[in-house]
Amino acid sequence: MNLSFINLDGKDMSAVQKMSELAKSIVKEHYDPIIGSAQNDYMISLFQTEEAIASQIEHGYEYYFAADEIGNIGFFAFYQRENELYLSKLYLKKEERGKGYSRRILSFLIDKAKEKGLDCITLNVNKKNNASEVYKKLGFEIIREEKNDIGHGFFMDDYVMRYNITG
């Protein structure tokens, strides 16, 4: 199956709206059982609204739709942070998981990191999220744990993982 990556233009509000809708639907389905709907709704309001996505792009994030012949099956977003590419988001629709798409997205991210002269990719993943096992299979290693207060009495309790591109 063909998989393409379509860069989101932060000034195209129709496309930003499509990204926001896709993000909300995937994140809601995936994270409600992990962190509860109250915290998830709060996080969606901070990070996945049209305004939030457009602002992130203005501040250096790159958002991409992952699409097959039929349409968008997921999305990912990243930005450069010092000498690393920080993978902020990588989500696939439930029915598209387990098909090797994450490996293809990682290959794309490695190429982007190399273009920028970066030597690793890092990410945060909730400790209860089974995606951490997928990241391990892809070659990421846990480098530390973090617990971050995000307001309203909510915390992100994460593993920080790294994929080394060089050395």
With a pLDDT cut of 70, the percent of the chain lying above it is 99
- Residues 130-147 have pLDDT tens digits of 999 999 999 999 999 999
Binned at pLDDT 50, 70 and 90, residue 128 comes out as very high
Which pLDDT value is given to residue 151?
A: 95
Max distance between CA atoms of the chain, in angstroms, equals: 43
Confidence of residue 166 (pLDDT cuts 50, 70, 90): confident
The pLDDT tens digits for 67-119 are 999 999 999 999 999 999 999 999 999 999 999 999 999 999 999 999 999 99
Alpha helices, H only, the chain: 13-35, 37-47, 50-58, 101-115, 131-137
What residues does each domain of the chain span? 4-164
Band (34; pLDDT cuts 50, 70, 90): very high
Torsion of CA 30, 34, 38, 43, to 10 degrees: -60
* DSSP percent split of the chain into helix, strand, coil, nearest 5: 40, 35, 25
Angle (CA) 167-158-53 rounded to 5° is 90
pLDDT at 1: 67
**Domain boundaries 4-164, corresponding CATH code:** 3.40.630.30
76: β partners:
64, 90
CA dist 107 and 91 (Å) reads 16
Task: Mention every residue, 6+ apart, whose C-beta is less than 8 A from residue 130.
Answer: none
Per-residue pLDDT band at 2 (split at 50, 70, 90): confident
- Closest by CA position to 39, among listed 160, 147, 156, 158: 156
How many helices and strands in the chain, by DSSP H and E?
5, 7
Of 38, 36, 39, 63, residue with least CA distance to 50? 63
